[in-house]
Chains A and B, each alone.
Chain A
Amino acid sequence: MNLLERPLISIRAGGKFAAVDLKSLWDYRELLYFLTWRDVKVRYKQTALGAAWAVIQPLFTMIVFSIFFGKLAGLPSDGIPYPLFAYAALMPWNFFSNAVNSSGNSLVGSAHLITKVYFPRMIIPTAAVAAGLIDLMVAFGVMIVLMIYYSVGLTWNLLMAPALIVLIALLAVAVGMWTSALNVKYRDIRYALPFAIQLTMFATPIIYPVSIVPERWRWTLKLNPLTGIIEGYRASFFGRPFDWPALAISAAITTALLVYATCHFRRVERTFADIV
């Protein structure tokens, strides 16, 4: 047996800071794939409607919203049919809220893995977000069908959609990773999270357009990183100009959150097995 010159694994009592170990994350990329695949496979097992739920959820929310907010409350929709207007935002929003919710609970739900096997823990909340991407793809397909139904033409702006998907997924990873780590120590998160997500929906232009907010307060809305992304989706579907400054703010905040969440995660992950 050829022995290595330097130890392959060195176990030391923890320092305060730990760099993000990209190499070991890369080594375990297949595990990320398998955990994502498991979540996707298991999600609609033993349901009568199966994957149809991925269509039903955003579609019915859209119908209900169109009746109450579009018809009864008469919210404006920037000249786009309200159902289409709402669905374009609900699609990324549903992905985000489901991803953050399942990601935030993922570590606690995987206690049996954390206490028995070593692997980079970041994979768990990340896989929970990645699994949601499949539903997002299905919802995306429905969006295309709806646009044909309402005969709204596709434009080149749609090419921005993949970038927007990456951006919202990263934002979900950042929030999910941070909350999942907090959740290990403070189980309050489990209750606070759905509540916080619900409130965030109203702080994000989903049922209403940004234009409804008075000009001088609009900047506060844009501090919410979701605003730039959701408005970006609408711009890419409906061929309207992108609000680049808003997108830049979203990207910057997402990056900052991601860096903070990874650092926090790395700092506390060493104690997961002891307290989960």
Chain B
Amino acid sequence: MNVRPIIKVENLSKQYHIGARQESYLTLRDSIVKTFRAPLARFRRNGGNTIWALKDVNFGVAPGEVVGVIGRNGAGKSTLLKILSRITEPTTGQVDIYGRVGSLLEVGTGFHPELSGRENIYLNGAILGMKRSGIGRRFDEIVSFAEIGSFIDTPVKHYSSGMYMRLAFAVAAHLEPEMFIVDEVLAVGDAGFQKKCLGKMSEVGNQGRTVLFVSHNMQAVAQLTRRSIVMDKGQCVFDGATGEAINAYNKLRSEGAGAALNYRAESAVNSNYLARATVHTSARPGRHQWSQPITFEFGLRIRSPQRSLCFSFQVMNNLQQPVCHFWLFDGDLPYREREGTFTLRCNIPKFRLYMGEYTLRAWISESAGRVVLECIDGICPFEVTMEGVARSEYEWQPGHCMYIDDAVWETVEQVDNDG
């Protein structure tokens, strides 16, 4: 069965003239002078200084689907959203949308500092395409969601930045289009409010509304979406399950950063620093089989030994969440006494993190972490696989859990004694 998509994107491309950036401040005089100097220049614009912000992008979104769009900076995500929101036009290609679209490239668009919270709710609502009657009906809901209470009649220029963001998001969250296009708006506010926004977004998704969600926050993408599109250099390089999409994105990122399997410090950054790091995996380099022994090896260069020097590291999953933490705080360590280069090995006899991609975050600190001397993130990428771990009935799926331990099961049949 083939569901007709609510949004269909075909061969979408957008070209920018890099020169056009400067031309935005072109003056009339320049334009006249240029026309006289090279009358045909206007028709010869296909020079080398153009870039394709989007190139041949194709995808469809079914009604009720929640789709993530991820990619590095400059991958074309924002351009895509701008075209879908009709803010800018494509150079070639087409988009058909079978429903009303509410797009949220920013919260609080058009808020005026001199106007009160109440007035801004109406103004912002109208800008986002809400009807006055619709805003009136949901007004109380918006105010209570924003938690601004009695400040509703105060000009928003007197609001704290938190209140301002809450009000701005509250208006946007009460839009009722059939399809939502959301850009990075969750990256604002404090942790508590972010959680509330995330909750609201998943509520929207659960109501069967279509959402296209762009974010750098992999945790949010993983939480909200099941399907994601990975963009790179203006093209759609992956379209599928979010778990795999995040892996593809991380791979792109580490390629961009040139992250090798091993870490080696380029120069002496501090007097005490991490000189190198290696993960000795069970299979070939960078690949580890679940439940096999693993060794994390670090080289510390110490020039100013101190009594309270500590070393610790975390294993991070692909959502940049720490999943394991190991540390070395013991008293009589040689690097607390002497200068030199020291190798630290951390052996884990059975490393049982579930299949997935991991990196390390390592840091050197004083006084058990109270003063961080150096913290290095995203090093030593490795993958854990379930190869050779038999499970006949059900294939291993990524993202089912984070950790599997040995388990001993017991099954006891209950005997009923009712007469």
Which residues of A are at the interface with B, using a C-beta cutoff of 8 A? 1, 3-4, 6-14, 28, 30-31, 33-35, 37-38, 41-42, 45-46, 112-119, 185-188, 270-271, 273-276
Contacts and interface: CB of A to CB of B under 8 A. Distances in A.
A30 B126 contact: yes
A273 B82 contact: yes
Chain A interface, >50% SS class: mixed
B89 A9 contact: no
A13 B93 contact: yes
Contact of B28 (A8, A11, A188, A275): A188
B387 interface: no
A14 B89 contact: yes
Q: Count chain B CB atoms within 10 A of each CB in A31, A33, A42 and give the residue with the most.
A: A31
Given A3-B98, A45-B114, A119-B129, 20 more contacts: A1-B64, A7-B96, A8-B99, A11-B89, A11-B96, A13-B94, A33-B126, A34-B127, A35-B126, A38-B112, A38-B123, A41-B119, A112-B109, A116-B109, A186-B26, A187-B25, A188-B29, A271-B88, A274-B16, A275-B24
B75 interface: no
B89 A270 contact: yes
A3 B6 contact: yes
Contacts of B27: 186-188
Contacts of A270: 88-89
B87 A11 contact: no
B4 interface: yes
B55 to A, nearest CB: 14
Q: How large is the interface on B (under 10, 10 to 19, 20 to 34, 35 or more residues)?
A: 35 or more
A41 B118 CA distance: 13
Contact of B126 (A4, A7, A34): A34
A119 B127 contact: yes
A8 to B, nearest CB: 6
A42 B114 contact: yes
Contacts of B132: 30, 34
Interface in B132-172: 132
* The 5 A-B residue pairs with the shortest CB-CB distance in the complex, in nearest-first order: A7-B96, A11-B95, A118-B86, A34-B126, A9-B97
B178 interface: yes
Interface string B101-141: 10101100110101100010011001111011000000000
A116 B106 contact: yes
A93 B188 CA distance: 47
A28 B16 CA distance: 30
B129 A34 contact: no
A4 B63 CA distance: 12
B128 A117 contact: yes
A33 B126 CA distance: 9
A3 B24 contact: no
Contacts of A12: 89-90, 94
Contact of A38 (B6, B86, B115, B129): B115
11 contacts: A3-B6, A3-B98, A11-B95, A112-B109, A115-B82, A117-B105, A118-B85, A188-B28, A273-B82, A274-B16, A275-B20
A237 to B, nearest CB: 36
A7 B129 contact: no
Contact of A114 (B20, B87, B115, B122): B87
Interface in B41-100: 63-64, 82-100
B96 A10 contact: yes
Nearest to A188: B28
A6 to B, nearest CB: 8
A103 B131 CA distance: 25
A42 B88 CA distance: 29
A275 B115 CA distance: 29
Q: Count chain B CB atoms within 10 A of each CB in A9, A13, A186 and give the residue with the most.
A: A9
A113 B88 contact: no
Contacts of A113: 109-110, 127
Contacts of A1: 63-64, 99, 178, 208
Contact of A186 (B31, B93, B103, B131): B31
Nearest to A12: B94
Nearest to B122: A34
A275 B17 CA distance: 11
B190 interface: no
B374 interface: no
A239 B196 CA distance: 66
B377 interface: no
Contacts of B25: 187
Nearest to A275: B24
Contacts of B98: 3-4, 6-8
A28 to B, nearest CB: 8
B87 A116 contact: yes
A245 to B, nearest CB: 35
Nearest to B27: A188
Contacts of A8: 97-100
Nearest to A39: B112
A39 to B, nearest CB: 10
A118 B128 CA distance: 8
Contacts of B103: 117-118
B23 interface: yes
Contacts of B91: 13
A276 B26 CA distance: 11
Contacts of A42: 112, 114-115
